[in-house]
Structure 1
Amino acid sequence: MASKFVWYELMTSDAPGAESFYRDVVGWSARDAGMTNLKYTLLLVGEIPVAGLMQCPPDVPQGQGGPGWLGYVGVADVDATLAQAQKLGASVHRAPTDIPGVGRFAVLADPQGAVFALFKPNGASTPPAPMTPGTIGWHELHAADAEKAFAFYSALFGWQRTQAIDMGPLGIYQVFGDESAPMGFGGMFNKPAEEAQPYWLYYFAVADIDAAAARVTASGGIVRREPQQVPGGAWIIQGQDPQGATFALVGMRRNGSA
């Protein structure tokens, strides 16, 4: 079975403000992780943690040049996977590090500069059902060269091509998955020219896309792409939180609009 994203983390310039925003928009609850040397907030669906949030130290540069979301891919051996990634052209942002009682992780960038992380948890967990509001419903790579990017991630994680969607001027949108997710759990494409750097975009599931879009603006964020229907019937928006981190939402349209 292929490796999948298992954790998500927001590094932000205003942790209390970001927590309030995502509580309002996504519906997450929050609690302190109880770390002795670090203020780290867990974001939860019910009682299940699905993401984390922390203040970016002023002397630590962000992978994207500002506040941003980081996705962690679960692997059996962080050190071995990192070594393989380097052979495939990745660069290391943070060497393998242990989090006492939690697991081991490393942060890296793919050969085109998109930042992600590797994670080996100490124990198993049961995530909420897919597309439950508050879960992460899709993973999207805005690549400089999607074909080369797919070759990298396929070799590293065992991701498989599922379907290719022709987006006209934007080119081919390559959906990827594995035997457990034949319809895919993410996609990648050649980023628009106005996007300066390749990056991963994460889609948070909501029950009503229009109501969620209204909450984004009401809570001080920006809707950068209005509700748009995607194959399968779901609707998406892309947005920016008040601190500048890019995110996306996915859900159904409940107001009867087509």
Structure 2
Amino acid sequence: MVNSHGRFVWYELMATDVEAAKAFYADVVGWGAQDASMPGFAYSVFSIGDAPVAGLMNLPEDARRAGVTPHWMGYVGVDDVDAAVARIQRLGGAVYVPPTDVPNVSRFSVVADPQMATLALVKGLKPGLAQAAELNASGRVGWHELLAADWEKAFAFYGELFGWEKAEAHAGAMGAYQQFSAAGETIGGIFTKPPTLPLPFWLYYFNVGDIEAAAKRVEAGGGEIHYGPMVVPGGAWIVHCTDPQGAIFGLLDRRRRPIGYFIPRDPSDAPGR
């Protein structure tokens, strides 16, 4: 994992029905699934062709009893997991899973920032397993977005932790949207979440070639569309969704449309209605 410090290198879906999750994401995003289980631990890998994209596992029973629901989690590469965890604690964050070794795979920790958005840290992910740094590639994770309680405080935390730097910024209906870069590449954005959302969280966008068709597949598969399709600055189109088990994710279509292009969700949404 060359130059992986501060970059998202892996993603995992924790689900209550892994077979149903495989079928849903195969239809919506086009992922295949390969078994990667170890003794006593069932695990699958979503893939595009032979290229791994993300992991899939059962939501642990103790987590279910604690009220944790299916969710996506991103892993950020770090040079030293233990040092990064200590820094998180000094900066006011929390540690849910202390630094732990996965034999012959990695050392990782599950943490939360001071506003309680969860993510994982990892070092030593096996070559060939880490997410390639190809934000535009079909079926890959193309964008990382933090819906924070306070975007400025959140950015200060992640800048101190990972060395992220400010990139382009713009103002929209929901206030300031600050993009951030790692190792010189813009990989995501941070903004202050609407008050209707109870908790801060990280949202991961999967690249699709036709967002209208993908949104229809989400709904046909039992998922739900919460926002979009909607154009964002730069001309890309996005959708916010939940899968049938309640895990939140985004879809991203980077194709530019003609000026004035509009995607009606239903006839009453069309301009002039």
Distance 2:239 2:152 in 1: 25
Shift of 1:253: 5.3
Q: Which residue of the partner structure matches residue 44 of structure 2?
A: 41
Q: Which residue of the partner structure matches residue 220 of structure 2?
A: 218
Distance 2:171 2:47 in 1: 36
Distance 1:61 1:118 in 2: 22
Q: Decide whether the 8 Å contact of 2:98 with 2:109 is kept in 1.
A: yes
Distance 2:53 2:89 in 1: 28
Is 2:96 the counterpart of 1:93?
Answer: yes
Distance 1:34 1:58 in 2: 18
Structure holding more strand per residue: 1
| CA gap 1:73/1:62 in 2 versus in 1, 3 angstroms | farther
1:138 to 122, 143, 149: 143
Shift of 1:122: 4.4
The TM-score normalised by the length of structure 1 is 0.93
1:121 to 121, 124, 128: 124
Is 2:171 the counterpart of 1:171?
Answer: no
Bigger shift: residues 121-130 or 243-252: 121-130
Shift of 1:121: 2.1
Letter in 2 for 1:211: A
* Number of residue-to-residue matches in the alignment: 255
Shift of 1:129: 3.1
Is 2:73 the counterpart of 1:59?
Answer: no
Q: Which residue of the partner structure matches residue 239 of structure 2?
A: 237
Q: Decide whether the 8 Å contact of 2:207 with 2:251 is kept in 1.
A: yes
Letter in 2 for 1:110: D
Q: Which residue of the partner structure matches residue 103 of structure 1?
A: 106
2:26 to 23, 27, 38: 23
Q: Decide whether the 8 Å contact of 1:208 with 1:254 is kept in 2.
A: no
Q: Decide whether the 8 Å contact of 2:101 with 2:107 is kept in 1.
A: yes
Q: Which residue of the partner structure matches residue 198 of structure 1?
A: 200
Could you list the runs of 5+ residues in structure 1 that have no partner in the other structure?
A: none
| CA gap 1:212/1:122 in 2 versus in 1, 3 angstroms | closer
Shift of 1:230: 1.2
Shift of 1:163: 1.4
Secondary structure in 1 aligned to 2:153? Answer: helix
Distance 2:220 2:45 in 1: 23
Shift of 1:61: 4.3
Distance 1:23 1:235 in 2: 21
Q: Which residue of the partner structure matches residue 167 of structure 2?
A: 162
Could you list the runs of 5+ residues in structure 2 that have no partner in the other structure?
A: 263-273
Shift of 1:255: 8.5
Distance 1:224 1:79 in 2: 38
Q: Which residue of the partner structure matches residue 152 of structure 1?
A: 157
Q: Percent identity?
A: 49
Q: Decide whether the 8 Å contact of 1:161 with 1:175 is kept in 2.
A: yes
RMSD, aligned α-carbons? 1.9
Secondary structure in 2 aligned to 1:60? Answer: helix
Q: Deviations over 1:28-52 (max 9, x none)?
A: 1101103111111100122111100
Distance 1:208 1:129 in 2: 18
Distance 1:104 1:57 in 2: 19
Letter in 2 for 1:120: K
Q: Which residue of the partner structure matches residue 186 of structure 1?
A: 188
The TM-score normalised by the length of structure 2 is 0.88
Q: Decide whether the 8 Å contact of 1:78 with 1:106 is kept in 2.
A: yes
Letter in 1 for 2:94: S
